Structure 1
Amino acid sequence: MALPDFPVEGGCSCGAVRYRLNASPLSVYNCHCKDCQRYSGAAWSMSMIVKDDDFEVLAGETESYDRKADSGNVIAMHFCANCHTWLWNVPPAGSFKVARAGSLDNMDWAAPVGDIWTDSKAAWVQLDSSHVSFAKGATDRTPLFDAWARSHQE
Structure 2
Amino acid sequence: MTRSEPESVLTGGCQCGAIRYALDRPPQEIYVCHCRECRKQSASAFGISVMVRSVDLRLLQGTLRRWSRPTDSGRTLACFFCAECGSRVWHGDPEQAEEISIKGGSLDEPVDLSDAIHIWTSRKLPGVIIPEGSRRHEEEPD
TM-score by length of 2: 0.88
1:125 aligned to 90, 114, 128, which one?
Answer: 128
Q: Which has the higher helix share?
A: 1
Write the distance in 1 (CA, Å) between the matches of 2:139 and 2:88: 22
The answer on 1:41 being equivalent to 2:43 is yes
> 1:7: how far off?
2.3
Write the distance in 1 (CA, Å) between the matches of 2:84 and 2:51: 24
> 1:65: how far off?
0.8
CA RMSD of aligned residues (A): 1.6
What is the aligned partner in structure 1 of residue 86 from structure 2?
A: 84
1:20 aligned to 14, 22, 26, which one?
Answer: 22
Contact 1:115/1:133, CA 8 A, preserved across alignment: yes
Displaced runs of 4+ in structure 1, greater than 6 A? none
Write the deviation string for residues 47-104 of structure 1: whole angstroms up to 9, x where unpaired: 100000111111101111110011111000111011000111007x850110111111
Contact 1:101/1:110, CA 8 A, preserved across alignment: no
- Structure 1: any 5+ residue segments left out of the alignment? 140-154
Aligned residues: 133
- Structure 2: any 5+ residue segments left out of the alignment? 1-6
Aligned-residue identity in percent: 31
1:97 aligned to 73, 97, 100, which one?
Answer: 100
The answer on 1:106 being equivalent to 2:109 is yes
